[in-house]
Copies of this chain bind each other. A is one copy, B any other.
Amino acid sequence: VERIVAGSVDTPSSPQTSAAPTIHDVARATGLSAGTVSKALNGRGHLRPETRSRVQQAAQRLEFRPNELAKSLLRKRSFTVGVLSSDTYGRFSLPVFRGIEDALEEAQIATFLCNARDDRHERDHVHALLAKMVDGVVVTGRRIDPRPPLSVRNLHVPVVYAFAQATGNDSLSIIPDDKQGGMLAARHLLLHGRRRIAHITGPQGFQAVGLRLEGLERGLADHGVELPANQVLFGPWEEGWGRHAARMLLQRKADIDAVFCGSDQLARGAVDGLREIGVRVPDDVAVIGFDNWEVMAKAARPPLTTVDANLYHLGRTAGTRLLRMIDGDPESGVVRMPCRLVVRESSETPSQLGVGASPAGDVLT
């Protein structure tokens, strides 16, 4: 705050070189008026070709770049959007960001990134973004459980929730289809002859945990296979839990031939736990993870078959939808993006490798 007040007085002092040239500098250099230069540079109006090229050369020589601030002020649009990441960002937000960015970049839109660690920061950031006249806002999260929508009373720009879900029905939320992801795993296991399946997953409080389980159950039920309640183990999102749970499962009763895990971390723990009590993966027990977190999934022994939530694509979709909304199409509701299965060695006996890679994913509500 202090710096702002001071800023009104202080000279920004000596930058590397002279300040950036304006359109007037180009006008002076060519002996024309600012208006004419503008037309020449933007290909508007009727000008003598020679004049046009003379202007272009001068602009290039002076390294003139039109001041976007001035443009935006006039157009009442900044070609800028804000991305709020609820709390600090981790491995989920990253691919989502990249997707958003790539989608927006194609429309020549720049991205403000804000780290909203709590509600207060979130509000402040939103206001700062609105003051900067952003054309839209994307809110990203770390989990899909519904959260209250941005509490800004007179929000006059579109908002998309990406890998986050807003309560109420007025907003547009884009999240992975966790249930369909669970079904993907179920189908793959059934396809490879597994029938006695267990599920090691995260805490019950997560909506994703419930949905993945639901998908697994339904996928199995569709083929008449049941998932006994005592073969579903909830615990923390930690590798150690995966290890522990897998051991428990196989030590208390051995009639299990597959484990679907709620994350790659859990799955990695599971394959380690199994190997260490002499259970072969995938020969005795197949294992499937979730996330396709490559550094985990590929380093596991054996490498993990896993459900990929396509987060980059999710981000891209969020960006694209936001663009549409900016162009005036109002949208709302919850969009669930299909997951896909990435098949590696943890789920197929060697002879089966390469057989039956699942379809990219059907869209299931």
Whether A120 is near chain B, meaning CB under 8 Å from some CB there, is no
Residues from chain B with a CB closer than 8 A to the CB of A229 are: none
Tell whether A231 is near chain B: CB-to-CB under 8 Å: no
Q: In whole angstroms, what is the CA distance A158 to B70 when docked?
A: 22
Contacting residue for A68 out of B70, B83, B114, B131, CB 8 A: B131
User: Given A88-B98, A115-B98, A131-B67: A3 and B107 within 8 A (CB)?
Assistant: yes
Chain B neighbourhood of A16, CB < 8 A: 155-158
Query: Cβ of A15 and Cβ of B157 under 8 Å apart?
Result: yes
Chain A stretch 154-171: residues in CB contact (< 8 A) with chain B: 154-158
Cα distance A153–B62 in the bound complex, in angstroms: 10
* Interface residue stretch chosen among A74-82, A177-185, A215-223: A74-82
- Is A130 in contact with B65, judged by CB distance below 8 angstroms? yes
Q: Is B328 within 8 A of A14, CB to CB? A: yes
Residue contact B65 to A73, C-beta cutoff 8 Å: no
How many identical subunits does the complex contain?
A: 2
Stretch of A5-13, A202-210, A343-351, A352-360 that contacts chain B: A5-13
Contact B156 A299 (CB under 8 A): no
In this assembly, does A113 line the interface, its C-beta being within 8 Å of a C-beta of chain B? yes
A364 within 8 A of B: no
Taking the complex as formed, is A305 at the interface, i.e. its CB lies under 8 A from any CB of chain B?
no
Q: Please state if A156 and B15 are interface contacts (CB–CB under 8 Å).
A: yes
Is A317 interfacial (CB-CB < 8 Å)? no
Tell me the A177-214 residues at the B interface (CB within 8 Å).
Answer: none
Q: Across the interface, do B128 and A110 meet the contact criterion of CB distance under 8 Å?
A: yes
**Within the complex, which residue of B3, B89, B128, B238 is in contact with A94, where a contact is CB–CB below 8 Å?**
B89
Q: Is there contact, CB below 8 Å, between B265 and A20?
A: no
Q: Tell me, rounded to whole Å, the shortest Cβ–Cβ distance linking A304 to chain B.
A: 13
Chain B residues with CB under 8 A of A230: none
Report chain B residues within 8 Å CB of A8: 75
| Interface check A112, CB cutoff 8 A | yes
A327 at the interface (CB under 8 A from B): yes
**Inter-subunit contact B68/A19 (CB<8 Å):** no
B327 A108 Cβ-Cβ under 8 A:
no
Q: Return the contact of A67 from the options B14, B73, B102, B111 (Cβ within 8 A).
A: B73
Report Cα–Cα, A110/B83, bound state, in Å.
Answer: 12
A1-41 interface with B by 8 A CB criterion: 1, 3-4, 7-8, 10-20
Known: A112-B112, A328-B12. A65 touches B127 (CB 8 A): yes
- Does residue A257 face the partner (Cβ distance < 8 Å to B)? no
Residues on B with beta carbons closer than 8 Å to the beta carbon of A156: 15-20
Determine whether A66 belongs to the interface, using a CB cutoff of 8 Å to chain B.
Answer: yes
Determine the distance from Cα of A131 to Cα of B90 in the docked complex, in whole angstroms.
31
- Per the bound structure, the CA–CA distance linking A153 and B18 in Å amounts to 12
Residues 107-134 of A, flagged 1 when their CB comes within 8 A of B and 0 if not, give: 1101111110000000000011111110
> Which one of A77, A89, A154, A155 has the highest number of Cβ atoms from chain B below 10 Å of its Cβ?
A154
Query: Is A254 an interface residue, CB under 8 A from the partner?
Result: no
Q: Is A226 an interface residue (CB 8 A)?
A: no
A-B contact pairs, 7 of them (CB 8 A): A63-B154, A67-B131, A69-B78, A80-B132, A89-B98, A98-B115, A265-B295
Could you list 20 further interchain pairs (A-B, Cβ under 8 angstroms) beyond the known A14-B330, A68-B131? A4-B108, A7-B75, A12-B326, A16-B155, A16-B156, A16-B157, A16-B158, A17-B155, A63-B154, A65-B127, A66-B131, A69-B132, A80-B132, A89-B98, A110-B112, A110-B128, A110-B129, A110-B132, A112-B112, A269-B299
